[in-house]
Structure 1
Amino acid sequence: MDRATVHSLLVQLRDIIRDEREHAKALDIQAMMADIQRKEILTRALNGVTELHPDDQKVVQEIRHENRKNAYLFRATLNWIQESMEFFGRKTVPVTYSQSGLSQNNLINGRLLSGRI
């Protein structure tokens, strides 16, 4: 593959990775999945490249940087979702009062999200 083609594919890959992040932030799943498919096609096309021109190293570094930004976004989002599910899955024990007016623990399973109405 000639240098111009490799450079063009690398620039396209960098731009698709940026688009993927923007679509993820906008929660546009269909566009994000299309980005992932295009990214896979470009990665397969670039698999055969064994040597890069020194000028293309800058683009490769940008690709790594953009990829890390995406990984950080996806990991942070996953952690947030896990923490939210953990919070809503915790057992809550409502405060009840005895006949004498003192608070007592109730043994009811009061999960915040129990799946029941």
Structure 2
Amino acid sequence: MDPRPPSPGSRVPSHASSQPRFRGPDPRRSLVVAMLGVLLAAVLGALVSAQLGALTIAVTLAVVGTWRAVAPRTSSAVGIAVRSKAFDVVMCFAAAVAIGLLALTVPYLG
């Protein structure tokens, strides 16, 4: 019989520091922010005007792109990380600009 530790992590030394390490923002918040933005855009688009709904989508994409750009790790933006950080940020901002411009220039939208 080989001697095994009583639990899998019992041989790992504990940290002497009493301050917890900062691990970044909660990963669920990124997904909640994105979903609330889409929900708000749908409500505004249906009840107020399509132009306001489209502008809300553009703002939501800009917020998501900013969140993805400043998140320290992919696990901090788990709901919005698709590809590499650079690709995600460029696509979010490009889509935000395109949708925002279309919302402001398409006639009879609002």
TM-score bucket of the superposed structures, by smaller chain: 0.3 to 0.5
Higher relative contact order (CA 8 A, sep 6+): 2
| Greater share of strand | 1
Q: Which structure has the bigger radius of gyration?
A: 1
